[in-house]
Amino acid sequence: MNTVEWIAAGLGLVSVWLNVREDWRGWPVGAVMVALYFAVFARVKLYADAGLQVIYFVLQFYGWYQWVRGGENHGGIAVSRTPARVLAACAGIGAAGTLLLGTVLGRYTDQALPYWDSGITAFSLVAQWMLAKKYLENWLLWAAIDVIAIGVYWTKHLLPTAALYGCFLLLCLRGYQRWRWTLAATAA
C-alpha cells in the first residue's frame, strides 16, 4: 500500500460519487485518478489495467464533453436506456476484447492473471463509454466488473484498491437506483 494508491482510491470515490449524482465535475476528478492509477498498476505488472488508464484518461474528457455539451442542442445528454442492439454489440466487443488481450498478454508478457485482468479491461472500456453516453445499464455492468476486480486486486495485495472497488460496487447500486428515478421523472 502506497500513498499514490491511497490518493487515487480517494479520488476514485469522489469521481464515481459525482457521476452517481450526474455532476459533470466527476470527469475532471476522474482524469487525475486514472493518471495516478496508471503508475499503481504498472508497478504490480497489471499491464492491461495500466493501459486501460491511458484510454480512460481520454474517455474522461469525452464523457465530460458529452455531459456538458453533447446532444442535439449541445446542452448535455440525459439518462436513457441502452438500445438492445447497442447492448448486444457492447457484450460482443467486451468478450472479444477479453479473449484477444488475454491471449496476447498471457503469451507475450509476464502478465499476472491475463484473462481476468483483460476482462476487467475490455468490459470497463465498454462500461465507461456507456457511462459517458448516460446509459442506465452502465451501472449494472460496472457492478459485475467490480465484483471480479475486487477478487483480482485482493489477490495482488492491492488492498486499498480492492476496498475502493467494494465501495464502487455500492455506488453502482446507488447509481442505478438514482438514474432509474431520473429516467422515470423525465418520462413522466
What pLDDT shows up at residue 1?
A: 55
Q: What CA–CA distance (Å, rounded) separates 148 from 18?
A: 23
Residue type, 132: A
CB atoms near residue 128 (< 10 Å): 23
What pLDDT shows up at residue 135?
A: 98
What pLDDT shows up at residue 112?
A: 85
Residue type, 172: C
> What burial letters (b/e) apply to 46-63, b meaning 16+ CB within 10 Å?
bbbbbbbbeebbebbeeb
Q: In the structure grid, which three cell numbers stand for residue 39, read together?
A: 503508475
CA-nearest of 51, 48, 144 to 99 is: 48
Contact indicator for 149, 172 with CB cutoff of 8 Å: no
What pLDDT shows up at residue 95?
A: 98
Alpha helices of the chain — where are they, by DSSP H? 3-20, 26-43, 47-69, 84-108, 114-132, 138-155, 159-187
Contact indicator for 118, 98 with CB cutoff of 8 Å: yes
Q: What is the pLDDT along the chain (188 residues), one digit of tens a residue?
A: 589 988 998 999 999 999 999 999 999 999 999 999 999 989 888 787 788 899 999 999 999 999 999 888 899 999 999 999 999 999 999 999 999 999 999 999 888 899 998 999 899 999 999 999 999 999 999 999 999 999 998 998 888 789 889 999 999 999 999 999 999 998 87
Contact indicator for 35, 19 with CB cutoff of 8 Å: no
